[in-house]
Amino acid sequence: MNATMNKSTSNRIGFLSSIALALTMLLSHFGCSTMSGSNFSKSKPITREDAIGTWSLTDSENELFNTILSADGSVVDTWWKGEDGVKGERGRWELDNGRIDIRLSSGWRDVIYRSELGYAKLGYPPGLALGSGPQSEPVNNGGAVKVSGDDLRFVGVWIIPGALAGPKYELYAALRSDGMAMKSIDAIHQGTWQIESGIAHVYWADRWHTTIEPVDDGTFFSKSWKPGIALSEMPTGSAVVRRVMK
């Protein structure tokens, strides 16, 4: 590894990630695409239909993160170890010789392909010229699982107006498919989340509580309670929120 690489680059460089670890983590939370028997073929190219959706990948430290591939070619992920933190990474994707080629604004490139065990991911560092083929040796290998289920509408990066600082203050919150959450403010950023009666409840380690609820018109509404306030009481803040899609 180049000693001059910045922190976000060095965090993603490492040895072979465990595909089995990624599968184990995902199977306990949301459904995953079939990857064995006659339903999966290594030689079969990945189609556009296969690609669009939410993927769970692992970084060089075997930590899961989600990558959302939209039909318009845009990419948003929940990898919160980079320079943009909880805001994740943005980028573009396309199909290249039956593989998913993801180019991120950070300069990183992820390639998802079919392997003997299912899907897998190769990671290439910043500096690779656009339009060029993959380097002969990636710096990072990992598992890749396309996850499914209605609850995935909550997975991703959310922009939530601050409960205590007025409507112009924005909080970023990233919800991963393994039930982990991270926010962009406060001294303690970590949390967990789960679905209760169709509503995402985020339990922050600093005892704040946030909900994200779908509304009939297709929007989402969030409520937040500061520590010590019961959920049966008036929320500390509430507002329409949106999931970042590009």
Residue 106 has what pLDDT? 87
CATH, residue 223: 2.40.128
In a shared domain, residues 132 and 164: no
pLDDT digits (tens, 9 = 90+) for 209-232: 999 999 999 899 999 999 999 999
* 2 domain residue, yes or no: no
User: Beta strand 74-77 with 89-96: parallel, antiparallel or unpaired?
Assistant: antiparallel
The phi, psi pair for 49, rounded to 5°, reads -65, -40
Decide which of 133, 148, 163 is a domain's last residue: 148
Percent of the chain residues topping a pLDDT of 90: 59
Residue 196: is its pLDDT beyond 70?
Answer: yes
Cα angle value 62/75/39 (rounded, 5°): 65
Half-sphere exposure of 106 (CA within 13 A, CB side): 29
Residues 16 and 87 in one domain: yes
Name the domain count of the chain: 2
Q: What are phi and psi of 218, to 5 degrees?
A: 95, -5
pLDDT tens-digit map of 22-49: 443 443 344 444 343 335 566 689 999 9
Listed residues 117, 132, 148: the one ending a domain: 148
CA nearest neighbour of 171 among 181, 235, 106: 181
Q: Are residues 141 and 155 in the same domain?
A: no
96 and 140 in a single domain? The answer is: yes
- Domain of residue 216: give its range: 151-243
Give the residue among 87, 94, 32, 46 at the shortest CA–CA distance from 69: 94
Instruction: Say if CB 91 and CB 103 are below 8 A apart.
Output: yes
Q: Is the pLDDT of residue 75 over 60?
A: yes
- Residues facing 193 on adjacent strands: 202
* Alpha-carbon distance values, 205 to 2, 90, 182 (Å): 36, 27, 10
User: In terms of DSSP H, where are the helices of the chain?
Assistant: 7-12, 19-27, 48-51
Of 93, 70, 68, 69, residue with least CA distance to 78:
68
pLDDT at 135 over 70: no
pLDDT computed for residue 129 by the predictor: 56
Q: Average of pLDDT values for 180-208?
A: 94
User: Where does a domain end: 148, 175, 199?
Assistant: 148
What's the rounded mean pLDDT across residues 81-109?
Answer: 93
Report yes or no on 166 lying in a domain.
yes
pTM of the model: 0.80
Of the candidates 73, 79, 52, which has an alpha carbon nearest to the alpha carbon of residue 176?
79
Instruction: Please indicate, yes or no, whether residues 161 and 227 belong to a single structural domain of this protein.
Output: yes
Are 156 and 90 members of one domain?
no
Contact call for residues 190 and 175 (beta carbons, < 8 A): no
Q: Say if residue 174 is in the same domain as residue 142.
A: no
- Residue 1 covered by a domain: no
- Contact, 106 vs 126, CB < 8 A? yes
Using only C-alpha atoms, the chain has a radius of gyration, in whole angstroms, of: 19
